[in-house]
Chains A and B, each alone.
Chain A
Amino acid sequence: MRLATILIAAWAATAWGQTIKLPDSVERLGAKAEEKVEITMDKAMLRLAGKFLSDKGDEAKARKTINGLESIYVRSFTFARDGEYATADVDAVRAQFQTAAWSRIIGMRSKEEGNVDVFLKGGTTGQLGGAVVIAAGPRELTIVQINGTLDPDQLADLGGQFHIPHLAMGEGARR
């Protein structure tokens, strides 16, 4: 009974905020942001959502992709004005994925649309072990962490689903 209580307490304490560890400077952006959205989809929720995707087109692809996933975690900040967060805030997030385990495959810089970085984590047998997308626009900062096994080609299929930004990855970028 005591063990069960401890397990439930541990689960409750971590359930909303599990996975990605954001630097304090980014956590504090929540107070500045006009709106902050957090989405945590664990395996059970992904299966549930997958059941509701159709067998046609992009939804069919997304459905196939999420079968191998363990979790998707999204955190998005929307600001009332430009320049509410510093480049250093985003750099601190990027720095977490500049390790041997991760490879940055996309680094797009645009004054108008903002910056997008995609980091991939190596997995087994040519599959990926996870992905992180950091989309930093003038008034919006979105960080997505995808855990689980997925094919590199499948990553773009998740764009536009589950609050994940659209990822217009060309053939070259996919390989």
Chain B
Amino acid sequence: MKGRLLVILLLACGAAAAADRDFDRLVKAIESHYGTRHTNLPLMGFANFVVKVARPAGTSSFHLAMFDHLDTPSEERDEFMDQMGSGSLHPLIRVHSNRDREATYILAGDVGKTTRMLIAIFGRDAATVIEVKVNAEALRKTIERPDLTAQRFLGKHDDH
């Protein structure tokens, strides 16, 4: 019984570690490629509050990194994300909005009963990396309207 519990614990730790690796890898790649640092959030409580407000239904386990004053030429974002590979995640959706000068990249993977999504949103002069677990409904909404992903996860669109 103890052995089984240990295996479950190790598997859970392994899944969590893989999740952290994908998120950290992307954050570090942006820092390295664009010569910047993600915004440290001394007001993490405030950030959590913001994320909580923006968090769409059916999502949990948020990881968030924000980059300000980040000028990413739109034509090289694809190349950058292509070079990223995906670790344990699969490239799923790529959205380019010339209207908003935004690009959204979504990678996804299976974690038991939920799906893990790694989302990179590049705006005019900022970028946000989000890692989040989503349930079936949230995954479906993302696939059906991928163009609304940035709005949903950055709190501009209410789909609750």
Interface residues of A, Cβ cutoff 8 Å to B: 8, 11-13, 15-17, 30-42, 44-45, 48-49, 51-52, 80, 162-163
Contact = CB atoms under 8 A, between A and B. Distances in A.
A34 B102 CA distance: 11
Closest 3 CB pairs of A and B: A52-B136, A12-B85, A38-B94
B155 interface: no
Nearest to B85: A12
Given A13-B82, A35-B95, A163-B143, 12 more contacts: A8-B85, A12-B82, A15-B90, A16-B94, A17-B82, A34-B98, A35-B97, A37-B146, A38-B94, A51-B136, A52-B136, A80-B99
B93 interface: yes
Contact of B93 (A11, A38, A51): A38
Contacts of A42: 90
Interface in B131-151: 136, 139-140, 143-144, 146-147
Interface of B: 78, 81-86, 90-99, 108-110, 115, 136, 139-140, 143-144, 146-147
A22 to B, nearest CB: 14
A127 B52 CA distance: 48
B90 A44 contact: yes
A35 B115 CA distance: 26
A12 B83 contact: yes
B90 to A, nearest CB: 5
Contact of A41 (B92, B96, B144): B92
10 contacts: A15-B90, A16-B94, A31-B98, A34-B99, A35-B147, A37-B147, A48-B110, A49-B143, A52-B136, A80-B99
A48 B108 CA distance: 9
